[in-house]
A and B are shown apart, each in its own frame.
Chain A
């Protein structure tokens, strides 16, 4: 399996490439009126309007740089995008390498944990993210 690691605050998260549609540089971000703080705005993406979630804000980090990279998620989650602080080079590894996180991880946003080149990388749970977005939007 291939993973795209990225930095949010001082933590490193990762997503499977299967779940990613495309990476875009920070385009012109159109803010929503009366949107919650976790939603930065919307971008135009190949003729579609895609909302952008401020992932540092959602995970409880400060994001003073304004999260310059945007990951547009695949259609089965979307359409929506995640704003992150910085991308890291791709990593490929076996599925068995990634342990099930239920045993040691109590954080609900993390699906599982693994170490890579002395870095602890958390595999982001997109279901939790979607649920959290929906919860905030319903409010």
Chain B
């Protein structure tokens, strides 16, 4: 039965008043002097009041001590026990207070348990975070190195692209030069074709002239052969004349012999024979002179024939040479025409090539710009990565600090004694 403390004081007062009234009624009945009556009543009432007051105060004091002890334990972090009041007949506000205190203990116990679990979690997480951030720092260092390499590579690339651009520009100029040269080559090939055609015409004319010369030389050769034959005939006639002269000489000799044998009578005959002999000698000498001349003429005509044969051979060789030259000119013409076509092709191709090279130059200039942008970007990325690395290191320090803080928190929370149940169930 719940009775509030104020009511308990009212009830005690009522009991004291009732005891005063009762004693006033009972005391006259005692065999005691009258003057003692008043005195006994007061003492009786005081006794009753003291008894009630002691009883009440003892119960209050005990409950308040229990509450004070509970609060003291709470202040020392002992949450293992609840506040338990002695069971009385009449509960009062102290029980409410103990219930409230127990609720506080429960709440605190839950709170500390959760805080402990959370602190452990935070500790582990921060440890993991520290490890991760250290790894990330290492990775960020690697990334920074890689990005630095990329940056250097991008610079090198920019330089190389610049060089390539120069080279390609020079190449484009050279291609333009080649285009000009191929145009000149085309003109030269045209001129070569024209010259070769003129040469071919000249060689055919030369060939005709040589044929005419050859036919004339052949005619001359036959004429000289005829002449030689005539001279040969003269020679045979001279042989006859020589023979006649010799025979005449012999006849004159025999006549002289006859005259000598005739003695004085043959003297005139001997003179005639001598004259005949002289004439025959003269004839013989002239015939011999003619024979010598004929021999010389024959030798010379043989020489002329030989030299004409050689001329014919030379002219034949010349004709062959002129034929070869004509063929050579024909092949030169065909080759020069082919060269002309090819040089025209080359000219067209080099013009195309020149345009292509111009496009390449533009593309490479674009590439150079991109490469320079890339270099600048990689430098920026490098700076950002360094900042990131610094941040990661700071984060690592912060997570380590957080871990220490979590450990400190855990140490603080460990001061709270949660009892066996909560120690067991705590994460």
A contact set with B: CB distance below 8 Å:
2, 4, 17-18, 20-25, 74, 87, 90
Contact status A18-B261, CB under 8 Å: yes
Contact status A18-B253, CB under 8 Å: no
Contacts of B260 in A (CB 8 A): 2, 17-18
B213 within 8 Å of A by Cβ?
Answer: no
A33 to B250, CA, bound (A): 31
Contact status A25-B250, CB under 8 Å: yes
Contact status A22-B254, CB under 8 Å: yes
Quote the shortest CB–CB distance from B10 to chain A (angstroms): 210
Contact status A87-B261, CB under 8 Å: no
Known contacts A17-B256, A90-B256; A23/B261 CB under 8 A: no
Provide the main secondary structure of the chain A interface. strand
Quote the shortest CB–CB distance from A26 to chain B (angstroms): 11
Contacts of B177 in A (CB 8 A): none
Contact status A20-B257, CB under 8 Å: yes
Additional pairs, 6, CB under 8 Å, beyond known A22-B254, A74-B261: A4-B253, A4-B257, A17-B261, A21-B257, A23-B257, A87-B253
A-B interface, 10 closest residue pairs, ranked by CB to CB distance from nearest: A17-B260, A2-B260, A17-B257, A22-B254, A20-B257, A23-B253, A23-B254, A23-B250, A90-B256, A25-B250
Contacts of B256 in A (CB 8 A): 2, 17, 90
Contacts of A90 in B (CB 8 A): 253, 256
A sample of 11 inter-chain contacts (CB < 8 A) reads: A4-B257, A17-B256, A17-B257, A17-B260, A20-B257, A21-B257, A22-B257, A24-B250, A25-B247, A90-B253, A90-B256
**Beta-carbon nearest neighbor of B263 in chain A:** A18
**Beta-carbon nearest neighbor of A22 in chain B:** B254
**Beta-carbon nearest neighbor of A90 in chain B:** B256
Which of A25, A87, A90: most chain B Cβ within 10 A? Answer: A90
A17 to B267, CA, bound (A): 14
A18 to B257, CA, bound (A): 7
Contacts of B261 in A (CB 8 A): 17-18, 74
Quote the shortest CB–CB distance from A21 to chain B (angstroms): 8
Chain B residues 228-259 with CB under 8 Å of chain A are 246-247, 250, 253-254, 256-257
Chain B residues 296-347 with CB under 8 Å of chain A are none
Quote the shortest CB–CB distance from A82 to chain B (angstroms): 14
**Beta-carbon nearest neighbor of B274 in chain A:** A90
Quote the shortest CB–CB distance from A33 to chain B (angstroms): 31
**Beta-carbon nearest neighbor of B258 in chain A:** A22
**Beta-carbon nearest neighbor of A24 in chain B:** B250
**Beta-carbon nearest neighbor of B247 in chain A:** A25
Contacts of B254 in A (CB 8 A): 22-23
**Beta-carbon nearest neighbor of A71 in chain B:** B257
**Beta-carbon nearest neighbor of B281 in chain A:** A89
Contacts of B253 in A (CB 8 A): 4, 23, 87, 90
Quote the shortest CB–CB distance from B264 to chain A (angstroms): 13
Quote the shortest CB–CB distance from B239 to chain A (angstroms): 15
A2 to B254, CA, bound (A): 13
A90 to B278, CA, bound (A): 12
Which of B246, B247, B256: most chain A Cβ within 10 A? Answer: B256
Contacts of A20 in B (CB 8 A): 257
Quote the shortest CB–CB distance from B357 to chain A (angstroms): 100
Contacts of A22 in B (CB 8 A): 254, 257
Quote the shortest CB–CB distance from A5 to chain B (angstroms): 12
Quote the shortest CB–CB distance from B276 to chain A (angstroms): 13
A44 to B261, CA, bound (A): 22
A24 to B251, CA, bound (A): 9
A18 to B260, CA, bound (A): 7
Quote the shortest CB–CB distance from A28 to chain B (angstroms): 17
Contacts of B250 in A (CB 8 A): 23-25
A17 to B262, CA, bound (A): 11
Contacts of A24 in B (CB 8 A): 250
A23 to B258, CA, bound (A): 11
Contacts of A18 in B (CB 8 A): 260-261
Bitwise interface map of B from 107 to 150 toward A, beta carbon under 8 Å scored 1, else 0: 00000000000000000000000000000000000000000000
**Beta-carbon nearest neighbor of B256 in chain A:** A90
Quote the shortest CB–CB distance from A2 to chain B (angstroms): 5
